[in-house]
Amino acid sequence: VATILGVSSVTALSITTPVLADSATKKSIYDDQPREFPATNTQPPTRIIALLREARHEATTALSMARIHGQMVVDRWIHTEQQVADLVRRTVPRGESLAPGIIYVGVAALAGPIFTGRRNFVVRGLSPLVFGAAAAAWFLPGTSAVVLRNVWGRYGDPAAIDRACETWQGVKAAERQLRRRVAANVQELRLSLQQGRGFGRDAAVAPVAKTEEIKQVKEVEIVPEATEPPVRAEEPQVKTETKPAQLPLGFKSKP
């Protein structure tokens, strides 16, 4: 038994003893010699290939430049539209519409050279502007006033327009007053002639308003009240009986 135990212990010791490998005999994970690949024969590009390459490059560059310029044109167009819309919004006052007045202004401007066809070139050249301005002042008075004020404010004295408007209003007021005076003098002369008092102004003459009231009163038709017809007295009707005439005895009537 002891012999068996000794042999088994020696065997166990021999099994558990570590064994170290020599580092010189360790294989590398790479190949000993690098792998060689066959070289490909590269030929220089021909003239056709070079021309095609250059043409493609030029076409790509031109296309990109055209795209950039197109985007710039679109941006410029949008900006111009916004400026025009803002200008129209500032120019056209509230309550006034451009259509159809702007059409009438265009037609009047085109009709100017037609009416002045036999005049000299200066009149024919200025006729569209004159006719168009007159039509704009008639069909678009508010817009014309704003445009005139803006133009005059940029190139002239802004206060001159206000003075011109005040002068025009004064002229219109003087014209109305002159018309009233002429009408009053004419009415006074007419009444003096009708009354046989000559051309003097000593007679008291009613003002024009009074005469107009008198005319209106005279023009009123007086409608008479409806009256019932008078009742006639009933006369007694006398009934008379007429007898046929009788001939004397012995006479006969002729057939």
Q: What is the pLDDT of residues 125-151, one digit of tens each?
A: 899 999 999 999 889 888 888 888 788
Average pLDDT over residues 11-40: 60
| Domain-located, residue 86 | no
Return the residue matching tokens 């985007």. Answer: 71
Residue 147 lies in a domain: no
In a domain, 213, yes or no: yes
Identify the top-confidence range among 12-21, 78-87, 237-246. 78-87
For residue 153, what are the contacts with CB-CB under 8 A and spacing of at least 6? Answer: 161
Please, are residues 253 and 247 in contact by the beta-carbon 8 Å criterion?
A: yes
- Judge whether 209 lies within some domain: yes
Instruction: Please say if the pLDDT value at position 180 is more than 90.
Output: yes
Range(s) of the domain holding residue 176:
160-218
Q: What distance in Å separates the CA atoms of residue 176 and residue 171, rounded to the nearest whole number?
A: 9
* DSSP element (H, E) containing 74: helix 47-91
Q: Is the pLDDT of residue 178 over 50?
A: yes
Assigned domain for 185 exists: yes
More confident residue, 224 or 22: 22
pLDDT digits (tens, 9 = 90+) for 99-131: 888 899 999 999 988 888 888 888 888 999 999
Q: Measure the CA angle with vertex 78, ends 77 and 83; round to 5°.
A: 95
The number of domains in the chain is 1
- Distance between CA atoms of residues 209 and 198, nearest Å: 23
Residue pLDDT, tens place only, 51-83: 999 999 999 999 999 999 999 999 999 999 999
At residue 204, the pLDDT reads 47
73 is a domain residue: no
Q: Is 0.85 surpassed by the pTM of this model? A: no
Residue 200 has pLDDT above 50, yes or no: no
- For residue 88, the model assigns a pLDDT of 85
Distances (CA, A) of 111 to 90, 105, 120, 144, 226: 29, 10, 16, 19, 64
Between CA 236 and CA 242, with CA 241 as vertex, the angle to 5 degrees is 135
Within 8 A by CB and 6+ apart from 43, the residues are none
Does residue 226 belong to any structural domain of this protein?
no
- Measured in whole angstroms, the distance separating CA 32 from the mean position of its chain's CA atoms is 90
* Alpha-carbon span 88 to 94, nearest angstrom: 11
CA distance 107 to 95: 23
- Region 90-103 average pLDDT: 86
Given the structure tokens 């445009």, which residue do they identify? 147
Cβ-contact 154, 124 below 8 angstroms: no
d(CA 57, CA 54): 5
CA distance 148 to 141: 10
Which of 128, 123, 124 is closest to 108 using CA atoms?
128
pLDDT higher than threshold 90 for residue 152? no
Tell which wins on pLDDT, 193 or 200: 193
* pLDDT band at residue 218 under the 50/70/90 scheme: low
In a domain, 193, yes or no: yes
